[in-house]
Amino acid sequence: MLRLHDLQTPALLVDADGLEHNLRTMAGALPGARLRPHVKAHKCTALARRQVELGHRGLTCATVREMEGLARAGLGEDLLLANEVADARRLGAIDARVTLAVDSPATVEAAAAGGVREVLIDVNVGLPRCGCAPERAGALADLARTRGLQVRGVMGYEGHAVGVEDAEQRARLVEQSMRLLVEAHAQVGGDVISAGGTGSFDLNAAATEIQAGSYALMDTAYEKLGLPFRPALTVLTTVLSVSQEFAVADCGLKALGMDHGNPRIDRAKVWFCSDEHVTFAPEQPVRVGDRLRVWPAHVDPTVAYHERLHVVSGEEVLEAWEVDLRGW
């Protein structure tokens, strides 16, 4: 049995119990097709397979590479690319059920020209990102149908709401967003209202399916929300240098998503990160060779730097899963 101290560092660790708790808790709350797990957070076919085994047979993707990889792995029963593309030819060539988000005449044309058959009308429900204005959704659906596309319904991500700490305010923002989406859906038709994320999984009653992804590994940014999911992802690091005031370990900017700021180390104060190092002040003395766990501030762009996820229980490494859906 491989053990933690056998791993090269930095190494991504997933706590087996935490992951299983998160997957089962979500599957209990949103069983089967009520959840369309987003794979962008983990980019890992093995983890997606576990989500499918728990009953969520439709999956959400952020990139074409994720779509291709899941299809190749036999997980292509119902794949949604919840982003627009300007060129859909790679999607059209995938041997799986592919649904694509569209939010403009140009992306409708791209879908049709690329050989994609099914689309969702992506509606802007308050986050300044993709999505058409709600009042344009109906006309866009009509255009899509004239171009031979099957319109399955709408999607709209309330990303401005999911991280709001105050639960009442979060609920209010989610409701406002979903009112827009439901109105758009009335113009668009179809069976699907796809929306939501980990922060709104229990608040969004309007969506027919929730696109949560972070719940599996969880994110420190979600910790304050009192969600029933456990942080399960850390980066294992080795102490390389120890001075009087601080120590240095091998987990730096190329092993961590840094857009949410510095990572955390238990019983230590993190000073800063360099390319391959974190400098920190430990509360208790550490020695060269000691192994520590680093909590990344943002899980998704952290995972995207690593080749594999190690599923661990205590000191034992149970499995190594390839992060095989990286890149584009």
Q: Does 234 bind a copy of itself (CB under 8 A)?
A: no
Which of 246, 264, 320, 322 is the binder for a copy of itself (CB under 8 A)? 246
Q: Does 200 bind a copy of itself (CB under 8 A)?
A: no
Of 170-199, binders to a copy of itself (CB under 8 A) are: none
Least distance (Å) between residue 213 CB and a copy of itself: 10
Q: Does 131 bind a copy of itself (CB under 8 A)?
A: yes
Q: Phi/psi of residue 264, each to 5°?
A: -115, 145
Least distance (Å) between residue 209 CB and a copy of itself: 19
Q: Does 8 bind a copy of itself (CB under 8 A)?
A: yes
Structure tokens that stand for 15 in this block: 């706590």
Angle, nearest 10°, between helix axes 105-114 and 137-146?
Answer: 30
Which of 224, 254, 267, 269 is the binder for a copy of itself (CB under 8 A)? 254
Structure tokens that stand for 262 in this block: 């510095």
* Tokens 């992506």 belong to residue: 122
Residues contacting residue 37 through CB under 8 Å, at least 6 positions apart: 48, 51, 56, 59, 60, 211, 212, 213, 216
Of 111-130, binders to a copy of itself (CB under 8 A) are: 124, 128-130
Locate all alpha helices (DSSP H) within the chain, ordered by sequence.
Answer: 16-29, 45-53, 64-72, 89-92, 105-114, 137-146, 167-188, 299-303
What is the number of H-type helices and E-type strands within the chain? Answer: 8, 16
Which of 115, 117, 142, 271 is the binder for a copy of itself (CB under 8 A)? 271
Choice between 123 and 193, CB closer to a copy of itself: 123
Q: Does 208 bind a copy of itself (CB under 8 A)?
A: no
Of 70, 69, 97, 67, the closest CA to residue 83 belongs to: 67
Q: Does 239 bind a copy of itself (CB under 8 A)?
A: yes
Report the 10 Å Cβ neighbour count for 269. 12
Q: Does 257 bind a copy of itself (CB under 8 A)?
A: yes
**Contact residues for a copy of itself, defined by CB under 8 A:** 8-10, 40, 62-63, 83-86, 103-104, 106-107, 110, 124, 128-131, 133, 159, 238-243, 245-246, 248, 250, 253-255, 257-259, 271, 273-277, 279, 287-289, 298, 300-301, 304-307, 326-328
